[in-house]
C-alpha cells in the first residue's frame, strides 16, 4: 500500500509510520509548484520534486511521472534516466494523453515501455515500471468496451517489460476482480472512498494500492477548513488536530 507524498515533510511522515516505500503524486507535486495537473509542470521541475523527496528518506521511492513529458520514445528515455538520477527506483508511466480525451497509441506506448526497460537494464537499476492505462479514468470509448481494452493494453505493456499494471478509475469489486484474474500481471488500483478494504483487495488478488492525490487533498481540505473557521467564527478548534512543531521538526532531525 502506497500513501502518496508530495513534498519532503509528507514523505518523511509516510516513512516514519513504517511504510516500506514512498510513492509520489504527480498532481500534488504540480500543485505544490503552482501548476495545474496534466504535465504542465514539465519534466525538470517534476524530477526536482522527486529528488527532494528521495533525498530525505531511506526507503525506496517510486515516482509518478505521468506520460513522460512528451509522446516520443526519446521523451520516455529522458524521463526514465531522470527518474533514476533523481533517486527513484520505480515510476508510474501512463497512456492517457494530455492533449485530449484519447489514449496514446498502444503499440507506441509499448515501444516506450521497452525503451524504459532498456534504460533500467543498461544502468543496472531494477526500476519498477508501473504501467498505467487510463481508459476507465478518462472514460474513453463505450463503457462496455473499457474492460476489454484495459486487459489488452495491460497484457501488451506487461509483455513490453512493465512490472505492474495500474488501472485507475475502477472501484467496483467485480471489475477489480476481473482485472486481477485476467491481466496476467500484478494489478495496482487507485483507492477512493468506494474502494474495498485492503483485506478484501488482497483476497481478490490485487498486488498494489495507491492513494494518489487523495492525501494531498485531505491535507488541504483541513487547511481550508481551518481558514474558514478563523474567518467565519473567530475560533481555532481545528488547531487541536495539528502535528506539533516539535514532531515536524523531529522528522528532519532524523532524516538521512
pLDDT tens-digit series, residues 202-233: 999 999 999 999 999 999 999 999 999 999 99
Q: Is residue 244 part of a domain?
A: no
pLDDT the model gives residue 100: 65
What confidence tens digit (pLDDT) does each residue in 130-149 have? 999 999 999 998 888 999 99
Report residue 185's pLDDT band, with 50, 70 and 90 as the boundaries. very high
Q: Is residue 249 part of a domain?
A: no
* CATH number for the domain that contains residue 173: 3.20.20.60
Q: Is the pLDDT of residue 255 over 80?
A: no
Residues 189, 165 contacting (CB under 8 angstroms) = no
Q: Is residue 68 part of a domain?
A: yes
Q: Is residue 256 part of a domain?
A: no
| pTM for the predicted model, two decimal places | 0.94
* Mean pLDDT in residue range 197-202: 96
Q: Is the pLDDT of residue 33 over 80?
A: yes
Q: Is residue 194 part of a domain?
A: yes
pLDDT the model gives residue 145: 94
Q: Is residue 230 part of a domain?
A: no
Count of the separate structural domains present in the chain: 1
pLDDT the model gives residue 143: 86
pLDDT the model gives residue 256: 77
Task: Give the domain extent around 107.
Answer: 4-220
Terminal C-alpha separation, the chain: 23
Rg for the chain, CA atoms, rounded? 19
pLDDT the model gives residue 164: 98
Q: Is residue 197 part of a domain?
A: yes
pLDDT the model gives residue 170: 95
Mean residue pLDDT of the chain comes to 96
Q: Is residue 237 part of a domain?
A: no
* Mean pLDDT in residue range 1-12: 97
What confidence tens digit (pLDDT) does each residue in 52-75 have? 999 999 999 999 999 999 999 999
* Mean pLDDT in residue range 157-163: 98
Greater confidence, 253 or 99?
253
Amino acid at each position: 500500500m502506497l500513501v502518496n507524498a508530495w513534498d519532503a515533510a509528507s514523505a518523511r511522515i509516510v516513512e516514519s509510520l513504517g511504510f516500506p516505500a514512498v510513492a509520489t503524486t504527480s498532481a500534488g507535486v504540480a500543485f505544490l509548484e503552482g501548476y495545474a495537473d496534466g504535465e504542465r509542470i514539465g519534466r525538470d521541475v517534476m524530477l526536482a520534486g522527486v529528488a527532494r523527496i528521495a533525498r530525505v528518506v531511506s526507503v525506496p521511492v517510486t515516482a509518478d511521472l505521468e506520460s513522460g513529458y512528451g509522446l516520443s520514445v526519446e521523451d520516455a528515455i529522458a524521463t526514465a534516466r531522470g527518474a533514476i538520477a533523481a533517486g527513484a527506483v520505480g515510476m508510474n508511466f501512463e497512456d492517457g494523453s494530455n492533449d485530449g480525451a484519447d489514449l496514446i497509441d498502444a503499440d507506441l506506448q509499448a515501444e516506450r515501455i521497452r525503451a524504459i526497460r532498456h534504460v533500467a537494464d543498461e544502468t543496472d537499476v531494477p526500476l519498477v515500471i508501473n504501467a498505467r492505462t487510463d481508459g476507465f479514468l478518462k472514460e474513453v470509448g463505450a463503457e462496455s468496451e473499457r474492460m476489454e481494452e484495459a486487459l489488452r493494453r495491460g497484457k501488451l505493456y506487461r509483455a513490453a517489460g512493465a512490472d505492474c499494471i495500474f488501472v485507475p478509475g475502477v472501484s467496483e469489486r467485480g471489475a477489480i476482480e476481473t482485472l486481477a484474474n485476467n491481466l496476467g500481471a500484478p494489478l495496482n488500483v487507485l483507492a477512493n472512498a468506494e474502494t474495498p478494504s485492503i483485506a478484501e483487495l488482497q483476497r481478490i488478488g490485487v498486488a498494489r494500492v495507491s492513494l494518489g492525490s487523495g492525501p494531498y487533498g485531505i491535507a488541504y481540505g483541513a487547511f481550508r477548513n481551518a481558514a474558514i473557521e478563523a474567518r467565519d467564527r473567530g475560533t481555532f478548534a481545528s488547531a487541536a488536530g495539528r502535528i506539533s512543531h516539535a514532531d515536524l521538526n523531529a522528522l528532519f532531525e532524523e532524516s538521512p
